[in-house]
Structure 1
């Protein structure tokens, strides 16, 4: 069997100060925000570059594809090499990719930069396992929840920031400012992170091959991946179609207004540390079930949107966004806490498997949400989100299909 290092060779746990937790949360947020800056700016991009709608659609698609490929091929390296060096290397790569995007002379160059940006933005998936490794076991859920708050705020607020900056100063300014912010982050992490000893000596090929082994070995991992993937499908179906729905009658709102709904979702994400504490006390499975139930109930509220006046409908959408974002984040933090506990020596690989499942769900949600909106209107999108959330809940309650037995 390939040699695997014992837990004694892993980095010694240290007490995480609030400042270090804040630094890790900020790093995760800035990294993942890079994936979403382009979404509210597509209209401005298309006008300036003279690109077709079809070409513009490839910008977010290639960014997400780069992220998925990077998670699969690069994130497992955190178990094999010093995670701090990997984080710093990806920060340099991400800063360069953002700079190239801001300087892109045409759509072709921007597409290439978008894919590279997605690859490098996977540094967020190195920061979260770093926090889990540094955290003492009895507080791991709370600390991972705090870092995930930063990551989730990065996802939600990135659309708000980029929409406003692009409207006021242009899309190139947004990419260049993001590049500068990432370099500042790199300087802080270089000073604020300890070195991490590798937890395995597996070759790169064996490291990737072990992903399938981990998948087969841990039924709890399979449950977590499929359940969170379904919730991610619901999440993506909503956010991928919201701007289109709001642009049409009776709302007729622009990109800035659509991006502002990220503020509502951010309110839900702020409660993520509470979910982590709850997972520490009551167990992650219970928190995951409650999160899926809250998400389904929140999506169900939006069934009434087509029957309401525009102002009332907008308020209901905002309330629903707070609820389902909180529910999905509760479930995510619970699933991460569960997955990280399965094998401390394989946290980067376990995290990679979970995140690949999430992004498969998000990609499916974007595609299915667009089809649902085109053929069945907003009600179709909401029904899709409800069905996916209920599927996640049922899987947590009755995981027979993935385990062969009740929990």
Structure 2
């Protein structure tokens, strides 16, 4: 079951990020100017934000299995709209629609957390969210290859097919999972607003915002300098850098075990320091691909370690409203990703890769500051953690 859940996460999140290595090709075909290319990624991420607020909390009331199948099917519809888009406006609309229902990722993560024993939650979250990272990073490799062979539209045909196939598989194989029936949908959506008053949730949310703004700065902007002078790489070659990111991210799968052992907050701080350092290496892109690769490995290790640790801390604090909590947390993720994607192409058009690297490093440093400011709140919350959770460690 964990493998199926990870596959769902991989395909769903790939639909939001598949445009990153082929922004140039898409822009030329759809006549989108260079300084607006980042919006081909941000459109999906802003749609994702809407879905996080309106759709993910429904998992605390309705059968998550049916929600997963329905949302995957609608992701497939959005992908087909992009694949057939005759103009930029239709593509933007299709990407936004896809983003809204791609929040099936978070419903899937919430499903995994809800059915896990407390002592295994971190490991299961680590495994399932590895599908998210695989989807984000491998989508770049596959998208690059498909774009070179059949053009960028083929990417979205393949993703539509996979989404619809997984929807049918989930409906058939996943056990029924119904949240507490007493909760009304409006109460669930309002619950995200109430979470914002909690110091632990707010600190983890701000970390997520800056974390994924930094992540988006790299992966939404990197294709532009790599396709230009002096490297002049093809979409397929640019996609290969996803393998470096995948190596780093999968190296962080132990973050779930560290979280189960009570080390989630320390892992978060150490990983954010590594994130800042990674930008020193990534900034060398105009002169050294080797240092860029090392920087990518470090960055994606850090991002995955922080992401798993954050979700472990939050789901341990709110075991009775997992979907609402994860949905609210991922609002920050989506906003950060959208800001990073839009800002990096704008900064690159005026200041080159040096400007983009400084932007990514600033986002990373801000995440580290947010972590430091949130330490007292996390320690206080952990002292009040349910005895059953502490005993399971």
- Tell me the TM-score normalised to structure 2 length: 0.90
Take 1:276 and 1:68, find their aligned partners in 2: how far apart are those partners? 25
1:343 aligns with 2:318: yes
Show CA shifts across 1:81-132 (max 9, x none).
1111111111111122222222233333322222111112111111001011
Residue 161 (structure 1) aligned to one of 142, 157, 164:
142
What are the residue-to-residue correspondences of 1:8-87 with 2, within 5 Å? 20-49=1-30, 53=34, 58-87=39-68
Q: 1:51 to 1:391 in 2, by over 3 A?
A: closer
CA 1:70/1:384 → structure 2, altered by over 3 Å: closer, same or farther? Answer: same
Find 1:226's aligned residue among 183, 198, 206: 206
CA contact (8 A) 1:237 1:369 kept: yes
Distance 1:280 1:332 in 2: 14
The aligned residue for residue 338 of structure 2 is 363
**For the aligned residues, what is the CA RMSD?**
2.4
Pick closer, same or farther for the CA change 1:99–1:398 going to 2, 3 Å: closer
Question: Do 2:13 and 2:105's aligned partners in 1 also have CA atoms closer than 8 Å?
Answer: yes
- How far apart are the structure 1 equivalents of 2:222 and 2:243? 14
The CA deviation string for residues 212-264 of structure 1, in whole angstroms up to 9 with x for no partner, is: 11221x21111111112111111111222211122332222233322221111
Cα distance change on mapping 1:241 and 1:100 into 2, 3 Å: closer
Q: 1:185 aligns with which of 166, 180, 191?
A: 166
Find the aligned partners of 2:226 and 2:76 in 1 and give their Cα distance. Answer: 33
- Are the counterparts in 2 of residues 66 and 116 from structure 1 also a CA contact under 8 Å? yes
Q: 1:123 aligns with which of 101, 104, 120?
A: 104
User: Of 236, 253, 264, which residue of structure 2 is paired with 1:284?
Assistant: 264
Within 5 A, what are the aligned runs for 1:318-329?
318-329=293-304
Where do 1:217-256 residues align within 5 Å?
218-256=198-236
Shift of 1:375: 4.3
Give the SS at the match of 1:253: coil
Alignment of 1:175 with 2:150, yes or no, is no
Partner residue of 2:355 out of 372, 380, 393: 380
Normalised by the size of structure 1, how large is the TM-score?
0.87
**SS at 1:345's partner residue?**
coil
Task: Give 1:147 deviation, angstroms.
Answer: 0.6
Change (3 A) 1:76 1:401: same
CA distance in 2, matches of 1:49, 1:363: 20
Partner of 1:94: 75
Name the residue aligned to 1:12. none
What secondary structure is seen at the aligned counterpart in 2 of 1:228?
helix
Offset of residue 41 of structure 1? 3.1
For the 8 Å contact 2:200–2:381, the answer to whether it is kept is no
Task: Work out the CA distance in 1 between the residues paired with 2:341 and 2:26.
Answer: 20
Which moved further from structure 2: 41-50 or 292-301?
41-50
Q: Is the 8 A contact 1:299 1:320 kept in 2?
A: yes
Contact kept, 8 Å, 1:148 with 1:272, in 2: the verdict is: no
Partners of 1:193 and 1:146 in 2: CA distance = 17
- 1:13 aligns with none
Residues 1:25 and 1:290: Cα distance change in structure 2 (over 3 Å): same
Hey, what's the Cα distance between the residues in 1 that align with 2:87 and 2:274?
A: 44
Q: In the TM superposition, what is the alpha-carbon distance from 1:135 to its structure 2 partner? A: 1.2
Rounded to whole Å, the distance in 2 between the matches of 1:357 and 1:49 is 30
Alignment check: 8 A CA contact 1:80 1:202 kept: yes
Counterpart for residue 263 of structure 1: 243
Q: Which residue of 2 aligns with 1:136?
A: 117
Residue pair 1:143, 1:273 contacting (<8 A) in 2 also: no
Q: How far, CA to CA, are the matches of 1:385 and 1:396 in structure 2?
A: 17
CA distance in 2, matches of 1:282, 1:400: 14
Aligned to 1:6: none
Larger Cα-atom Rg: 1
Q: Which residue of 1 aligns with 2:389?
A: none
**Equivalent-residue separation in structure 2 for 1:321 and 1:42 (angstroms):** 19
The match for 2:278 is 298
Larger deviation: 62-71 or 315-324? Answer: 62-71
Contact kept? 2:279, 2:361, Cα under 8 Å:
yes
